[in-house]
Amino acid sequence: FILMLSLTLGTMITITSNHWVTAWAGLEINTLAIIPLISKSHHPRAIEAATKYFLTQATASALMLFSSMTNAWSSGQWDITQLTNPPSCLLLTAAIAIKLGLTPFHFWFPEVLQGSSLTTALLLSTAMKFPPTTILLLTSHSLNPTLLSTMAIMSIALGGWMGLNQTQTRKILAFSSISHLGWMTIIITYNPKLTLLTFYLYSLMTTSIFLSMNSTNTLKLSTLMTSWTKAPMLNTTLMLTLLSLAGLPPLTGFLPKWLIIQELTKQEMTTTATIISMLSLLGLFFYLRLTYCSTITLPPNSPNKMKQWSIKKPVNTLTPTL
């Protein structure tokens, strides 16, 4: 309980800060609070995930502090919204990219999600992304657009490509998170409000997926295939949510993609818009494959795990219908 409180505290401190040091402090509190949550189950893989998370986030925080210090050295003030020194801007972009898990700094993300339990993975991919995104929003006018767009396009590409034949559900969600982050960051220098919208919708959809997977305890694809016997309603809503994450038109997930493409074309970046829509097809492929596994084909197998015979907690079936 104390850890949850520290997480909220850290997020609040970062969001409401206008001095670099408070922002950094909030991020550090978040990192430190979630480390025990990741390594709660004393499994070597969990401890490995916690170590990797700590190392990457600590490096990112240090880089961020360094960039704010160089900015303070050159401009004499620590205000977050006034980042004027170009090297600091570059460093800050890199630091936030490491924190969020954008390519080429994404290597830690699937392993960390795989090593943690499903609820902790949910926290890692939604709540822990919030403070760095707010920092990006506050500094959006002074970020380096070329670097950001390159990283965003690479994230979308890589998230789609690497997610293609994963069999572990947490890793699949990690790669989907990476590609959504790419969508979020590509529009941030032009219209930060769209980034916020994408982030909110993405966290809502991911929360519902993680919670539905948590109630059926699906850690791998084969468990997903057999969950239709246990909670058929949950399975259909899971399918809809997955397709929404993929960005298919009548579902909510299409909205941020449409608005982002519209904004990019307004900014004369049509080729970028085309490229990212093509790349998100890769992502669509594996989401479709997940839904194919879980709902469209009905495998005749029965699940082996005893845990699945009873639903762990009452499941919120309303959120997936959003």
Nearest to 201 by CA among 175, 218, 183, 174: 183
Q: Is residue 41 a contact point for another protein (CB under 8 A)?
A: yes
Is the previous residue joined to 104 through a cis bond, with omega within 30 degrees of 0? yes
Q: Which is nearer to another protein, 222 or 277 (CB)?
A: 222
Which residues within the stretch 143-172 sit at the binding site for another protein (CB under 8 A)?
161, 164-168
The secondary structure of the chain in percent helix, strand, coil, rounded to multiples of 5, reads 75, 0, 25
Q: Is residue 43 a contact point for another protein (CB under 8 A)?
A: yes
Q: Is residue 48 a contact point for another protein (CB under 8 A)?
A: yes
Q: Which stretch binds another protein (CB under 8 A): 63-71, 182-190, 272-280, 292-300?
A: 292-300
Which residues within the stretch 104-123 sit at the binding site for another protein (CB under 8 A)?
111, 114
End-to-end CA distance of the chain: 29
CB 109 within 8 A of CB 177: yes
Q: Which is nearer to another protein, 82 or 167 (CB)?
A: 167
Which residues within the stretch 226-285 sit at the binding site for another protein (CB under 8 A)?
none
Report the nearest approach of another protein to the CB of residue 221 (Å).
Answer: 8
Three-class DSSP category at 161: helix
Element at 66 (helix H, strand E): helix 44-75
Token pair of 310 as six digits: 């009873």
List interacting residues with another protein (CB under 8 A): 41-45, 48, 51-52, 111, 114, 161, 164-168, 220-222, 225, 289, 292-293, 297, 299, 301-302, 304-307
